[in-house]
Amino acid sequence: MYLFALKETSNQLQNMKRIFSFLSIALCLIVLTSATRPPKKGWISLFDGKTLNGWKVGTNASTFSIDSGRIKVFGPTAHLFYDGEVNNHQFKNFEFKAEVMTMPGSNSGIYFHTEYQEGGWPAKGYEVQVNNSHGDDIRTGSLYDIVDTHEVYAKDNEWYTEYIKVEGKRVIVKINDIVVVDYTEPEHPVRTAGHPLRLIGKGTFALQGHDPKSIVFYKNIMVKPLAD
């Protein structure tokens, strides 16, 4: 009986060793697959339509909310930064697009190559304007304070697509497939004192809450990373 018990214990230990070996091999395969898995290609969603998961805002966080599958921007000045897993929220060359709708008299903006700030206007990166009828006559699609347009390419109360492509030093902005900006940053760009870091680099995206009277909606926010 004693010998039988020892043999049974030995068998159990062997079985446990086999299980641990199998689990170790499986774990190694998972890690290896994860490390070698190619990055996602094509258009990738940055907004799940239900929550602000993957996005980060500092002061005046209540300016941003979810409304029927859309991001609603309404309230005091604030900025909502993409802080999610896609590209570790760092983008250099990319295509970006979002569906946008402005209410009359509203102002907003889409920043790229920026970085999170707790408050204030983002110091780093470019702003692409969202404004069809606000008092500021720099209109939708402008590369704000760099290439400004005063033409109106979209209407309030209607969804339109705002598209941004950055490749190298070149920036293309389209509104509903109309090219509004085609700008190449020069080797030695001259910037105003108010925007010294408005330069091509690398960073994340941010949506702007401009002022308490502006109401703007965003949905179908997508990015397509391009080779650096």
pLDDT at 186 over 70: yes
Structural contact between residues 79 and 57, judged by C-beta atoms closer than 8 angstroms: yes
Q: Is the pLDDT of residue 4 over 50?
A: no
Whether residue 142 has pLDDT greater than 60: yes
pLDDT on residue 140:
98
Q: pLDDT-derived band of residue 196, with 50, 70 and 90 as boundaries? A: very high
- In tens, the pLDDT along 90-139 reads 999 999 999 999 999 999 999 999 999 999 999 999 999 999 999 999 99
| pLDDT tens digits, 211-221 | 999 999 999 99
CATH architecture of structural domain 44-225: Sandwich (2.60)
List pLDDT tens digits, range 6-20.
345 455 546 555 544
Whether the predicted model's global pTM rises above the 0.85 cut: no
Domain boundaries, the chain: 1-37, 44-225
The pLDDT value given to residue 203? 98
The mean per-residue pLDDT over the stretch 182-211 comes to 96
